[in-house]
């Protein structure tokens, strides 16, 4: 143990936690789909602590039901889309420190329009 003329030394442990603001990005290259298509939207969230990803459709929460699958990795899959699936899809990435959201629009063409 080190000594000096000022008295005994003390040992202290300091813990440092770095937080990174969250960021949300939707990875999609297409916004127009035909009736019956499968649509896959990927929301990528970054930040520390590890963020949670939630989806909404026209402002209402989305969960896995029927033709919709919501995965923990941020992927939203819509099976056999119809005009009822037209609208704004938003993902919100959040943790205890901050939140971020982004949106994309899905336009489903009717069967008639896709044949023209």
Compute the CA torsion angle 73, 67, 60, 52 (nearest 10 deg): -10
Residue 50 DSSP label: P
Full set of structural domains in the chain with CATH: 21-109 (2.60.40.10)
Q: Is the pLDDT of residue 93 over 70?
A: yes
User: What whole-number distance in Å separates Cα of residue 24 and Cα of residue 43?
Assistant: 7
Q: Is the pLDDT of residue 113 over 60?
A: no
68-70 vs 75-78, strand pairing mode: antiparallel
State the residue for tokens 């909404």: 56
pTM: 0.79
Q: For the segment 1-47, what is each residue's pLDDT rounded down to a tens digit?
A: 566 667 777 788 888 777 888 999 999 878 899 999 999 999 999 99
Largest CA distance in the chain: 92
């Amino acid at each position: 143990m080190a000594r000096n003329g000022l008295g005994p030394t003390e040992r202290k442990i300091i813990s440092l936690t770095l937080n990174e603001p969250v960021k949300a990005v939707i990875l999609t290259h297409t916004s127009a789909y035909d009736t019956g298509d499968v649509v896959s939207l990927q929301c990528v969230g970054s930040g520390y602590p590890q963020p949670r990803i939630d989806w909404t459709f026209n402002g209402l929460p989305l969960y896995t039901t029927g033709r919709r699958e919501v995965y923990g990795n941020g992927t939203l899959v819509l099976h056999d889309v119809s005009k009822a699936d037209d609208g704004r899809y938003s993902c919100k990435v959040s943790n205890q420190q901050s939140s971020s959201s982004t949106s994309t629009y899905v336009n489903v063409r009717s069967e008639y329009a896709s044949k023209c």
